[in-house]
Amino acid sequence: MLSVAALSLRLGVSGCQGSKRSIATVISGSKTSKVVRDRLRAEVERMRSQVFGFRPSLVVLQVGDRDDSNLYISTKLKAAAEIGIDAKLTRLPNTATQDEVLQSVMAVNEDPSVHGLIVQLPLDSVNHIVTEQITNAISPEKDVDGLSFINAGKLSRGDLKDCFIPCTPNGCMELIRQTGVTVAGKHAVVIGRSKIVGAPMHDLLLWNHATVTTCHSKTPDLPQQVGRADILVVGAGRAEMVRGEWVKEGAVVIDCGINHVSDETKASGKRVVGDVHYSSANQRAGFITPVPGGVGPMTVAMLMENTVQSAQRFLLKMAAR
């Protein structure tokens, strides 16, 4: 076992600890995601040496041409290329119908050379497309975003080894692990219950044996609930809503929020903040993720992890035949 200090050095947890500590140790997602990506690159190289020419393969399916989607996709393709994953973009025009999108999904499902398929959301089509029908048409074995009901059902019922875990909560767990704080037996509080952050985060913490409380917009006593959290994960989508004085002394605070607020001191006139009021929370937390540079960079890294995992499962199935 590594000491926390050693882990900090290796894995991007920085700051000061001990009895004189007055501010939280920062958990750097930028550094941790690099560690993950380095590990994955080595893993892909190992696979290539075992099976000549083999590469994990990912398809990103885009409908339309949204600027924000283009940016996210290029980040994913770049990360994949650096790791050695063969990632391709399939783009349908914004005139695509639901049937055409489904046909594209089916074609990738049936292509044995592809190990992962994600559909970039939101779908940008002039036609009415039911997003849920598209995400649930993805073969569960290739659903590396983990958003299909089958993968959600497995995760929510504790079948973690046989599913794909959504990338943001999976990244949060990786950051929590970096702190060296044991999850089992702790009281974890999750704020938010979305399909991509809060709900799967609850499941992950629960099946890592924390006692988990889920809070949301209908929770009347949020400060009190937050005050009981040894581990706090916030995916509320409201700028700086969690105040430092709510936070339990020494808690692990993971902030999934990405909110743009106006800031006249910046050239752009705005800046990015999380769902946690950082400068007060870091006075009480034991560990805290910054925004930006915390959870954000982990999401793409965990998508790569799921893709490599899918390729590994594919190779295991091949070997078993």
Report the catalytic residues: 76
Q: Which of 220, 249, 264, 320 binds a second copy (CB under 8 A)?
A: 220
Cα separation of 242 and 236, whole Å? 9
Q: Which one, 35 or 121, has the nearer CB to a second copy?
A: 121
Q: Which one, 55 or 154, has the nearer CB to a second copy?
A: 154
Quote the least distance from Cβ 32 to a second copy, whole Å.
26
The DSSP-derived string for 277-297 is -HHHHTTT-SEE--SSSSSHH
Give the Å distances, CA to CA, from 129 to 63, 100, 102, 273: 10, 10, 10, 32
Q: Which stretch binds a second copy (CB under 8 A): 84-92, 201-209, 236-244, 271-279?
A: 201-209
What six digits make up the tokens of 81?
Answer: 């290329």
Q: Compose the 169-198 pattern: x for residues touching a second copy by CB under 8 A, - for all others.
A: ---------------xx-x-----x-x---
Q: Which one, 215 or 256, has the nearer CB to a second copy?
A: 215
The DSSP-derived string for 26-63 is EE-HHHHHHHHHHHHHHHHHHHHHHTTT---EEEEEEE
What six digits make up the tokens of 3?
Answer: 């000491």
Cα separation of 186 and 246, whole Å? 18
Q: Compose the 129-168 pattern: x for residues touching a second copy by CB under 8 A, - for all others.
A: ---x---------------xxxxxxxxxxxx---------
Cα separation of 204 and 72, whole Å? 25
Quote the least distance from Cβ 200 to a second copy, whole Å.
9
Work out whether 209 is an interface residue with a second copy (CB under 8 A): yes
Binding-site ranges for a second copy (CB under 8 A): 132, 148-159, 184-185, 187, 193, 195, 199, 203, 206, 209-216, 218-221, 225
